Amino acid sequence: MSTRLAKQGRLIDRSKQIEFSFNGKKLKGFAGDTLASALLANDQMLVGRSFKYHRPRGLVASGSEEPNALVGLGSGDRFEPNQRATTTELFSGLAAQSQNHWPSLEYDVGELNSKFFSRFLTAGFYYKMFIHPRPFWKHVYEPFIRQSAGLGKAPDKELKDADTYEHFYYFCDVLVIGGGVAGLQAAKSAAASGAKVLVLEEKSHWGGRTPVDGGTIEGLDADAWIAKTVAELEAMDNVTLRTRTMGAGVYDHGYILGYERLTDHAPGQGGPRHRLWRIRATQTVTATGAIERPLSFAGNDVPGVMLAASMRDYVVNWGVTPGQKVVVATNNDDAYRTAITLHEAGVEVVRVLDTRESGGGDLADKVRALGIRVECGRAIAKVKDGKRVTKVAICAQNGEGGAREEIEADAVAMSGGWSPVVHLWSHCGGKLTWDDAQAHFRPDPERAPTGHDGKPFVVTAGCASGPLTLSAVMADAAAAGAKAAEAAGRPAQSVAEVATSDLTEAPMEAVWMMPAKADIKLRMKTWLDYQNDVKVSDVQLAAREGYESVEHTKRYTTLGMATDQGKLSNINGLAILADSLGAEIPKVGTTTFRPPYHPISMGAIGGEARGDIFQPLRKTPMYDWHDSHGAHWEPVGHWRRPYAYVRSGETVHDAVNREVKNTRDNLGLLDASTLGKLIVKGPDAGKFLDMLYTNMMSTLKPGKCRYGLMCSENGFLVDDGVVARINEDTWLCHTTTGGADRIHAHMEEWLQTEWWDWKVYVTNATEQLAQVAVVGPNARKVLEKLNAQAGGGMDLSKEALAFMEWKDGEIGGFKARAYRISFSGELSYEIAVAASEGQAFWNALMEAGKEFGVMPYGTECLHILRAEKGFIMIGDETDGTVIPQDLGLHWALSKKKEDYLGKRAQTRSHMADPDRWQLVGLETVDGSVLPDGAYAVGNGTNANGQKNTIGRVTSTYYSANLDRGIAMGLVKHGPKRMGEVIDFPGLDGKIYQAKIVDPIFYDKEGEKQNV
């Protein structure tokens, strides 16, 4: 059984007991425990069920490489699935639930999969099993698989995460990722040069695993050296140290993400839960250590089988032993440390099985001297299935697994050698080289990730570089820190030698299968990827079926595709693949390492962007007034515009109809502040605008306005609006609401990249002005009344300010610019005042307008009024494929101009095709409203057996003024088919019949606007 030891536990505080629960069971641990160590202390060996076969699973590791111990943490709005027990610090009241089992962790029905169906659930089984019969996938297979597969459950969709998150931008010369002895030494070396250094450590404590492994540095034991070095670094102004912060990803240009977990160990303490560090580092040192590899023997997934170094972590760090009778299996010297540690803690080591015929070095001698039985050339044939280790069958390594000796044990410590953590090195293109002696891939310093200058920006330090002995690690780290500082532009340092002591180790032996020629029965029980349930036999099957690329094999077998991204399984898996293919391991290569190193929370990625600041909301100066007067909001880009002002007792539709009638009959006010207002000035401004607009703007007289169209260089209509000439060299271009920023960028792009020698400046003055459309038969009256009240103002008569003219002056005491332009067909003024005075001006209009029947109107009314007049709307009549000719706007295409953007494109055969659909008005035969976006059908069918389409609806409304549905649409040969009735099948099954008519439904002569 696993239990707490009387002594040991350098990270726990035995005076502080903590209560927590696992699957509702109340358990106790100590401050400093991880959830994993606390579970082991309570003999909770079984922590979850596997993904596919629902095999019982226990802890394999002690750090972020742990594949099995994933739990659901917390509840309600703080519930989070798939949290690793090994990286979860214990806190009072922690509530964890195991995952992926039904009905309970102890008794799981899905485990039958493993017993009876496992030979069907091999690599690629989804593809093979479920492809026929076709309908079964959707209705039978998928629901079944979704029920039985999968990891944790998703949080309740009705709840919102109770925590907050944030980002933090940081800049430094040298970023050190990893706060083990290598990281600390690298930081020390780098900092000595005066470089600004940031050190990130994912755990809550410094020093990594050296205190567990032993050895001395500068004459001090590891703990003492770490304490001294951390104190030295803390005292330096140019060094910043952060624990609980993981280096998550390395990106181009020295951009690094750090993931700080602020309150995971103390939920509810206030403040952000996670902080995402967005770091720009000139140089990055990855001191990320190494990960021990499992050995591939049958039953290597039975709870109680653990990585050897992790087992000694549990003993030394948390005073917990996973078993009382332990078998150690290894191909290298390091695992002997576990035997010594266990022995010193009073745990019986029943056998050390060393695959090497020649055995180990100094450490092995030490183990033998302790009286522990060491057998060389021996291996584990099989660990007996069950919820924990009970029996271990032993055989010769160099055989098929026969002639077994069975011994009793309750835990197995395994070590298949060590692989450097190369993930961060590799994220941005660092290449690897195969180290035959250590049987691992390590970073190739000659092929580092390179920055904008083609020079390396990542350096590895310590075990992450490849060396595994303390002396080599410290020497490498000291050099790495100095190298990084120098590469970051600091003066070169001479690297002082770090005095260390460690033991001589015998060479390890590459062991990819245990025993070496294990038969198929054993291989089918030998796990490579614990989390995704991939076995040796699956990879071998994939190879037999022709999967030669490691990337393809990964996807076919799902090896390394789980949330641990194959930290334990990748090297073992590709070694099996290489063996099956008869290829060298380096020829097979690795899969791609992608950030993040370890899953990070979605909350951290989103940062502060939630609730009110999820997205910026753009508000006009009159926003609050609209909001308090019944505005039904419509999003237009990031703006919110009133769709209609709904009065009590009204529906939105009622409100729209009221506004539509009132604006035609009396007086309407529209907040038009969101319309883009781009000021274009310079000696070449006229020439520039002639290129941008399809019609002529250079000939416009100061004081006059002209409606213009803008096309992309491909000829498609992209924006429209009224242009006013302000003076000899200045124009003001109105754009659509959504077009303001886009067209500003469009103008700047042409000026900066193509016509860089033209003397033109552009400023986006959209937000400088509040603009109000004063519309309706009483428009002039209300403005003249305001002037009368103010004792004078600009002359707004037809004579003084004619249609399509503008003028500066005062209205009602406000400094204003008035445009006689109309998007409604009514007498209309658009008045621009300073944004800061927008609300005051609006108030004045509302007050003065009372006697004239004033009502504000929203965007839907605006749309209906323009549709009654047959005016097009960018985004309704256009969709990126429409050219002005389609809309009958030939009059706005200058024939005189030599060129404008889009002109050449519009002469291409497809653009000039008379069969292009063209704009017409549509009137339903019965007066009903055509469905938006409906297609008109013609004769015959297309190649897919669908009816041929001959047109579509682009705008459709109920017109309260005409008391009928009105619509515009693009119809093949439309203008030549006036009076014809065409069919529009609706989604409701009804066929809508509409007559093709002129698109101007109201006041065809335009008398109303010209009074």
Partner 1 sequence: MSKAVSAMNGASFAGLAKVTETGLGGMITLRGDFASAKFQTAVKAATGTQVPATRKIAFGDRGAAAWMSPDELLLLVDYDSADAVVAKLSEDLATEHHMAVNVSDARACFAVSGDAAREVIAKVAPVDLEAGQFEAGDFRRTRFAQVAGAFWLDETGSFHIVCFRSVAVYMYDLLCTAAHPQSKVGIYA
Question: Under rule CB under 8 A, which residues in 250-269 are in contact with partner 1?
Answer: 269
Q: What is residue 611's DSSP assignment? A: G
Is residue 621 near partner 1 by the rule CB under 8 A?
A: yes
Q: Which CB sits closer to partner 1, 683 or 792?
A: 683
Is residue 661 near partner 1 by the rule CB under 8 A?
A: no
Least CB distance to partner 1 at residue 231 (A): 18
Is residue 278 near partner 1 by the rule CB under 8 A?
A: yes
Question: Under rule CB under 8 A, which residues in 803-822 are in contact with partner 1?
Answer: 814
Angle in degrees, CA 803, 805, 808, rounded to 5:
135
- How are the residues of the chain apportioned to helix, strand and coil, as percentages rounded to the nearest 5? 25, 30, 45
* Residue of 48, 254, 272, 715 interacting with partner 1 (CB under 8 A): 272
Residue 92 CB-half CA count within 13 A: 5
Is residue 270 near partner 1 by the rule CB under 8 A?
A: yes
b/e for 733-752, b at 16 or more Cβ within 10 A? Answer: bbbbbbbbeebbebbeebbe
Is residue 603 near partner 1 by the rule CB under 8 A?
A: no
CA–CA distances in Å: residue 444 to residues 323, 434, 459, 788, 896: 40, 9, 10, 83, 65
Question: Under rule CB under 8 A, which residues in 169-188 are in contact with partner 1?
Answer: 169-171
The amino acid at 922: L
Q: Which CB sits closer to partner 1, 6 or 613?
A: 613
Q: Which CB sits closer to partner 1, 69 or 176?
A: 176
* Residue of 343, 618, 632, 977 interacting with partner 1 (CB under 8 A): 618
**What span, in angstroms and rounded, lies between the C-alpha atoms of 583 and 666?**
86
b/e for 259-275, b at 16 or more Cβ within 10 A? Answer: bbbbbbbebeeeebbbb
- Look at the alpha carbons of 831, 836, 840, 846 in this order and tell me if their dihedral is positive or negative: positive
- Contact segment (CB under 8 A) with partner 1 among 74-82, 275-283, 561-569, 691-699 equals 275-283
Give phi and psi for 496, each to the nearest 5: -75, 145
| Other beta carbons within 10 Å of 220 | 14
- Contact segment (CB under 8 A) with partner 1 among 334-342, 477-485, 765-773, 949-957 equals 765-773
- For 654-729, where are the E strands, in sequence order? 667-671, 676-681, 705-711, 717-727
Give which of 305, 317, 226 is closest to 4, Cα–Cα.
317
* Residue of 418, 425, 597, 639 interacting with partner 1 (CB under 8 A): 639
- Contact segment (CB under 8 A) with partner 1 among 57-65, 217-225, 274-282, 820-828 equals 274-282
Q: Which CB sits closer to partner 1, 320 or 835?
A: 835
* Residue of 786, 835, 887, 970 interacting with partner 1 (CB under 8 A): 835
Q: Which CB sits closer to partner 1, 78 or 661?
A: 78
Q: Which CB sits closer to partner 1, 325 or 759?
A: 759
Name beta bridge partners: 73.
80, 96
Is residue 769 near partner 1 by the rule CB under 8 A?
A: yes
**What span, in angstroms and rounded, lies between the C-alpha atoms of 430 and 450?**
8
Q: Which CB sits closer to partner 1, 429 or 683?
A: 683
Q: Which two tokens stand for residue 783?
A: 């403005």
What is the SS3 assignment for 309-359?
A: HHHHHHHHHHCEECCCEEEEEECCCCHHHHHHHHHHCCCEEEEEEECCCCC
Least CB distance to partner 1 at residue 757 (A): 12
Least CB distance to partner 1 at residue 673 (A): 9
- Contact segment (CB under 8 A) with partner 1 among 50-58, 357-365, 837-845, 882-890 equals 837-845
Q: Which CB sits closer to partner 1, 238 or 563?
A: 238
Is residue 204 near partner 1 by the rule CB under 8 A?
A: no
Least CB distance to partner 1 at residue 839 (A): 7
Is residue 642 near partner 1 by the rule CB under 8 A?
A: no
- Contact segment (CB under 8 A) with partner 1 among 30-38, 159-167, 788-796, 925-933 equals 159-167
- Contact segment (CB under 8 A) with partner 1 among 13-21, 84-92, 678-686, 861-869 equals 678-686
b/e for 792-805, b at 16 or more Cβ within 10 A? Answer: ebbebeeeebeebb
Pairing of strands 854-856, 667-671: parallel
* Residue of 6, 266, 761, 910 interacting with partner 1 (CB under 8 A): 761
Is residue 612 near partner 1 by the rule CB under 8 A?
A: yes
Q: Which CB sits closer to partner 1, 440 or 641?
A: 641
What is the SS3 assignment for 443-477?
A: ECHHHCCECCCCCECEEECHHHHCCCCHHHHHHHH
Q: What is residue 113's DSSP assignment? A: I
Q: Which CB sits closer to partner 1, 351 or 681?
A: 681
Q: How many residues bind partner 1 (CB under 8 A)?
A: 50
- Contact segment (CB under 8 A) with partner 1 among 272-280, 489-497, 558-566, 930-938 equals 272-280
**What span, in angstroms and rounded, lies between the C-alpha atoms of 672 and 670?**
6
Q: Which CB sits closer to partner 1, 346 or 683?
A: 683
Would you call the peptide bond into 702 cis, given omega within 30 degrees of 0 as the criterion? no
Give which of 150, 202, 175, 257 is closest to 594, Cα–Cα.
257
Is residue 29 near partner 1 by the rule CB under 8 A?
A: no
Least CB distance to partner 1 at residue 256 (A): 13
For the chain, state the CA radius of gyration. Answer: 38
Least CB distance to partner 1 at residue 835 (A): 4
Is residue 790 near partner 1 by the rule CB under 8 A?
A: no
Question: Residues 721, 733: contact at Cβ < 8 Å?
Answer: yes
What is the binding site for partner 1 (CB under 8 A)?
A: 164, 166-171, 196, 240, 269-272, 275, 278, 280, 607-609, 612-613, 615-621, 638-639, 679, 681-683, 759, 761, 763, 765-769, 814, 834-837, 839-841
